[in-house]
Amino acid sequence: MEYKKPVLIVTALRAEANPLIEHFGLQPVKNSHVKLYQKDSIRLLIFGLGKKKADASVTEFLNIFPDEYLLVNIGIAGGNPKVTDIGDMYAVHRIHDESSGREWFPDMLIKHELKEMSITTVESAVTDGAGSFTGLVDMEASAVFESTVKSIPSHRMVFLKIVSDTMDELEFSGINVPALIESHLSEIERIIRLYQHSGIWNEPILEGHELSQLSDGINTMKLTATQSEELRRLAEGKKLRSGTVDKLWTMMEHPPESKKERNDRFEQIRQFLSS
C-alpha cells in the first residue's frame, strides 16, 4: 500500500514543473487561484520567478490547502564552477538571502545520499561570474523557506537544486531546463519516498477516531473549554500509560441534565483517566 504522507512540490518555472507533472501523473486542480497540480498525496505548485511571487503564491496556497506537508523545492540554480558541476543535483543545507543578509537552515536529518551545498538567493540573475558566490545561487529559495516555515517545520523541508549554469550566461534561453530535471526524476522520487517513510511526521497520541469520539463526547457532555482541554490532556496520559481509552466513551454517552451532574460526572471521568 502506498504511504500517504502529503507532499508539496514547489517550482518557480513551468519548465521545471512539466517533467515532474508528467512523471508523477499529476492533474491540474481546477478553480484554484494558484497553478496547482495533484495526484494522490502529491501536490505541485508553480509560483513564478522571483521571491515576491514565491512568497505570495506559497502563502496563499498554504492558507487554502493547509496540511502536514513535506515541502520539496525543486529548481535550477547557478553553481560556482570550482565546487559544482553543471547537471548535478544538490541538497541545500543553508540558504542565505543576499539582500536581507538572513540565513535559513532546512534540518538535515535523513540519509539522502546527495551532495550538499549552500545557496544564496538573489534578486536578479547573476551573469557576470560566480565572484563571491561560493556555492549555488537561485532567485527563490529564501522566500520559499520564509513563507512556509510558519506552517511547515524545517525538518520537513527539502531543497533540491540542479546546476544549470556557472553564473556567466548572458542568455538563459539556451538552457534545456526540462532535460536537467528529467535526468534526476528517479532520484527525486527516491528522496520523496524516503522522507515519506522516514517517520519524521509526529504521530498524535490520540488517533483520528479517538479524537473524533472525544469531540463527540465533549459536545454530548457540554463540557466547558477548560474541561475539554483537561479531558484531552488526561486522555492522552491514559493512552500513554495503558494503551487505550476505550472505556472513556461509555462514560460520555449520555448528556447531563444539569451543570451539577455534568461536573460530578466530569470528576468521575477525571479520576478514571488519572488512574
Q: Taking CB under 8 A as the rule, does residue 247 contact other proteins?
A: no
Q: Is the C-alpha dihedral spanning 142, 146, 152, 153 positive or negative?
A: positive
Question: CB of residue 246 vs other proteins: minimum separation in angstroms?
Answer: 16
Binding other proteins (rule: CB under 8 A), the pick from 14, 39, 52, 233 is 233
- E strand or H helix that includes residue 14: helix 14-24
Binding other proteins (rule: CB under 8 A), the pick from 152, 160, 221, 248 is 152
CB nearer to other proteins: pick between 105 and 172: 105
Question: CB of residue 273 vs other proteins: minimum separation in angstroms?
Answer: 9
The cell numbers describing 257, all together, are: 441534565
Rg (CA), the chain: 24
The residues in 75-94 that bind other proteins, with binding defined as CB under 8 A, are 93-94
User: Can you tell me the distance from the alpha carbon of 135 to that of 119, in angstroms, rounded to the nearest whole number?
Assistant: 6
Q: Taking CB under 8 A as the rule, does residue 265 contact other proteins?
A: no
Q: Taking CB under 8 A as the rule, does residue 155 contact other proteins?
A: yes
Choose the stretch contacting other proteins; rule: CB under 8 A; options: 105-113, 168-176, 213-221, 250-258: 105-113
Choose the stretch contacting other proteins; rule: CB under 8 A; options: 19-27, 44-52, 213-221, 235-243: 235-243
User: Can you tell me the distance from the alpha carbon of 163 to that of 54, in angstroms, rounded to the nearest whole number?
Assistant: 20
Question: CB of residue 94 vs other proteins: minimum separation in angstroms?
Answer: 5
Strand-pairing partners, residue 92, are 117
The residues in 187-226 that bind other proteins, with binding defined as CB under 8 A, are 194, 197-205
Choose the stretch contacting other proteins; rule: CB under 8 A; options: 74-82, 146-154, 169-177, 211-219: 146-154
Query: Crossing angle, helix 141-148 and helix 51-64, to 10 degrees?
Result: 30
Strand-pairing partners, residue 162, are 76, 89
CB nearer to other proteins: pick between 76 and 91: 91
User: Can you tell me the distance from the alpha carbon of 231 to that of 158, in angstroms, rounded to the nearest whole number?
Assistant: 37
Choose the stretch contacting other proteins; rule: CB under 8 A; options: 31-39, 57-65, 229-237, 251-259: 229-237
3-class secondary structure per residue, 215-273: HHHHHHHCCCHHHHHHHHHHHHHHHHHHCCCHHHHHHCCCCCCCHHHHHHHHHHHHHHH
Question: CB of residue 100 vs other proteins: minimum separation in angstroms?
Answer: 12
Do residues 159 and 76 make contact, with C-beta atoms less than 8 angstroms apart? no
User: Can you tell me the distance from the alpha carbon of 98 to that of 137, in angstroms, rounded to the nearest whole number?
Assistant: 10
Q: Could you list the residues that contact other proteins (CB under 8 A)?
A: 93-94, 101-105, 107-111, 116, 118, 149-150, 152-155, 194, 197-205, 233-234, 236-238, 240-241, 274
